[in-house]
Amino acid sequence: MRPESSTRYTPYTLSSMDRIPQIAGLSERRRLAMKAVAHVLPFRSNRYVTDELIDWDNIPDDPIFQLTFPQPGMLEPEELARIMAMLREGASSRQIRPVANEIRRKLNPHPAGQLEHNVPRLDGVPLPGLQHKYRETVLFFPSRGQTCHAYCTYCFRWAQFVGMEDMKFAQRETETLHAYLRRHDEVSDVLLTGGDPMIMRAGHLRAYVEPLLQKGFEHIRHIRIGTKALAFWPRKFVSDPDSGTLLRLFEEVVASGRHLALMAHFTHPRELETPIVRQAIERIRSTGAVIRTQAPLIRHINDSATAWADMWKKQVALGCIPYYMFVERDTGPRDYFGVPLIEAHDIFRRAFRRVSGLARTVRGPSMSATPGKVVVLGTQEIHGERLFVLSFLRARKREWVGKPFFAKFDPRARWLDELQPAFRAKRFFFENDNPPRKKQVGWE
């Protein structure tokens, strides 16, 4: 018997968009706009997402459709019109590319010099596939994991997916990773991230992970893998040809006495509702790996307390541990997805109040900014001045962690660099010896 094609991983991209059966029902204009946007912001989907997650009776509002399909509002109207006009005249991808690249550059593809900051060196040579910002944690971007099951483009990595060579910062050498870690015994945590490392075949993943279980790496205690695959391709853990190898690798890590965590991106409660995702979670948990969940709060998709409370409850019921709610980054289609800090905090607080203590492991809303991860604790009025109360969850300097600080209240502020210090101070306390207050680096 021929296996159902929807059980095989067949990605949809811009060039195969017309083959998505459900697309035929959309208006000509919407389809053209979707293609125009996809020339700038990478599009990638698959039959699990289109057949089992998206409700096609609710287009364009359906949250998963909003998350995975290009939306006209993601580009400035003039830019959208410009590419649509080119498409109407039959322009080729090649002809559109320079225009698309010009638009991409305006979308702040690498917030805050992400390419320069935090890149460690080995014998003086920079290692571009690594980031080492906090003493005990190294982020590794395996080159084979620099795509994603869904190019939902709200993470700062979208630029890595579009093939603009100078924008990529991945590396092929697993040896470099291992050589670096062998010399740095202060590092206890390794995070494999992307893109999505789970897009790799299990054999490739093994090449990165298995050596870390050997002699010389006793200091590596925690291994994390960031992934959207649980939400968008759960068959990776259940029925893909390499799922057995993958689960055995997880078991091996756990058997070595290490903590293995899957940092799963779940953005909407619906992603937790199919029988296959539940089966995938069960299988992963049976290896001894822990699943922690995180996602950004984004307009059109999960900008409600109900969505978050529902997500956290479902996650706890399935044995997952809610970890972070992020603030949308200043990159890509941020004007489309972004939510002001005050609103983000309000949603967080209302959702937090509705869940049991078991779900209150979650922290947020958190900005991964250059000085560290800053959480919005709330607002307060002091001597007639309305203020934001903020705190570091993670910081370049350990002594900053957990120390509340204040910023002037600003109802429109969406990121740390848009905030002003309170009480007429010239700068925030952490800026005295750390001048750049600009944007963010890192994601988890």
Ligand X SMILES: *Cc1c(COP(=O)(O)O)cnc(C)c1O
Least CB distance from residue 134 to ligand SF4, whole Å? 20
- Determine which residue in the list 39, 47, 157, 373 makes contact with ligand SF4, applying CB under 6 A: 157
Is residue 414 involved in binding ligand SF4 (CB under 6 A)? no
DSSP strand E in 281-384: where?
290-297, 321-327, 363-369, 372-382
In the bound state with ligand SF4, the residue whose beta carbon lies nearer, of 194 and 371, is: 194
Which partner from the list ligand X, ligand SF4, none does 228 bind, CB cut-off 5 to 8 Å by kind? ligand SF4
The only residue of 47, 270, 334, 394 in contact with ligand X, by rule CB under 6 A = 394
Return the C-alpha torsion angle 191, 192, 195, 198, nearest 10.
Answer: -130
Report the alpha-carbon angle 432-434-435, nearest 5.
Answer: 85
Among 36, 80, 103, 139, binds ligand X (CB under 6 A): 139
Can residue 151 be called a binding residue for ligand SF4 (CB under 6 A)? Answer: yes
- State yes or no: residue 392 binds ligand SF4 (CB under 6 A): no
Q: Which does 368 bind (CB under 5 to 8 A by kind): ligand SF4, ligand X, none?
A: ligand X
Q: Which candidate, 324, 235, 242, places its Cα nearest to that of 278?
A: 235
Strands of the 385-395 sheet, one edge to the other: 130-134, 137-140, 189-192, 222-227, 259-265, 290-297, 321-327, 363-369, 372-382, 385-395, 405-408
Distance CA 158, CA 38 (A): 12
Scanning 41-134, the segments in alpha helix (DSSP H) are 47-48, 63-68, 77-88, 93-106
Q: Nearest approach, Cβ of 151 to ligand SF4 (angstroms)?
A: 5
In the block, residue with structure tokens 């906090």: 134
132-140, 145-153, 250-258, 374-382 -> range binding ligand SF4 (CB under 6 A):
145-153
Q: Which is nearer to ligand X, 242 or 444 (CB)?
A: 444
* Those residues with Cβ within 8 angstroms of residue 255's Cβ, 6 or more apart along the chain or in another chain: 288
DSSP E strand stretches across 193-320 = 222-227, 259-265, 290-297
* 394 makes contact with ligand SF4 (CB under 6 A): no
Using CB under 6 A as the binding rule, whether residue 168 contacts ligand X is answered as: no
Q: Which residues bind ligand SF4 (CB under 6 A)?
A: 148, 150-155, 157, 194-196, 228, 265
Q: Which residues bind ligand X (CB under 6 A)?
A: 131, 133-134, 137, 139, 368, 373, 394, 442, 444
